[in-house]
Amino acid sequence: METMIAIMGALLAIGAAVLVFFLATKASAAEDVMPKTDPGTPPSSRQDFVNTVFAAVQSVATDVSVAGQQLITAHAAYESGWGSTTGYRKGNNLFNITRSTRDPGPIVEGGDTEYDAAGNVKNITQRFRAYPSIEASITDYLQFIQQSRFGSSYDLLSNGDPTFVYPLRQGGYYTLPADQYYNTLVSVLARVKSMTQNVA
C-alpha cells in the first residue's frame, strides 16, 4: 500500500513538472511571436513616444506623404518596441539597424531574435548602430532602405503602403516570416494613425 502511494506521489510530481514546463514553453513561444513589442508599456507612454517620433519624422522626411510619415512612425514603434529596446534607449536606434564588425562607427549591443528558414527561433546579440539623435536615426533609415537590395521598399513606404515590408524581407532586413511581420505592422500602424489623426 505504501509502495502504491509512493508511486502515485511520484507520478503526480512528474505530471506537475511536465505541466510547468509546458506552460513555460507556451509563454516563451508567445513572446517570440512579437519579440519587439512591449505589452507592459502604458498607453500614455506609447502616446508620448509617437508624439516625439512623428514630430521628428515630419521634420526629416519632408518629401514623404503624411501616410508615409505615419508608416515610418509605426515601423519605428514596431522595431523599437514602442521605445523599449536597448538600441533605442541607449543609442536612439529606432529601426534596429545593425553595424558590421568592419564598420568602426558607434554601436550599442543588445539582444534580438532571429528566425531560420524552418521558422526556428534563436536569441542573438546584435551590434546596433548608435545615433546622436532620433532625427539622425530616421535619416539613416531612409537612406538605408533605398539600397538596391530592398527593391521598391522606399517608394512603397513613401506612399504609406505597408507592403514595403515584403521587399525589405527579401533584402534581408528581418528574418521573421513576412506575413507575420506585415500583419503586426498593420496593427501598429492603425494605432499610430489614431494617435496622430489630430496632428497629421
Q: What is the pLDDT of residues 55-96, one digit of tens each?
A: 999 999 999 999 999 999 999 999 999 999 989 999 999 999
Average pLDDT, integer, range 96-105: 88
Quickly name the fold that domain 34-196 has. Answer: Lysozyme (1.10.530)
Q: Kindly tell me the sign of the dihedral angle through the C-alpha atoms of 173, 174, 179, 182.
A: negative
C-alpha 199/C-alpha 95 separation (Å) is 23
Residue 16 pLDDT greater than 90, yes or no: no
Instruction: State how far Cα 12 lies from the chain centre.
Output: 41
Of residues 110 and 68, more confidence is placed in 68
Note the pLDDT of residue 18. Answer: 40
Of residues 94 and 199, more confidence is placed in 94
Note the pLDDT of residue 101. Answer: 84
C-alpha 125/C-alpha 52 separation (Å) is 28
Residue 31 pLDDT greater than 70, yes or no: no
- Residue 92: name the closest of 134, 143, 49, 52 by CA: 134
Q: Domain extents for the chain? A: 34-196
Residue 23 pLDDT greater than 90, yes or no: no
Contact 160/53 with Cβ under 8 angstroms?
no
Average pLDDT, integer, range 154-167: 97
What SS3 state is found at 128?
strand
Dihedral of the alpha carbons of 142, 145, 147, 150, in degrees to the nearest 10:
-160
Cell of 106: 558607434
Residue 15 pLDDT greater than 80, yes or no: no
Place of cell 508615409: 68
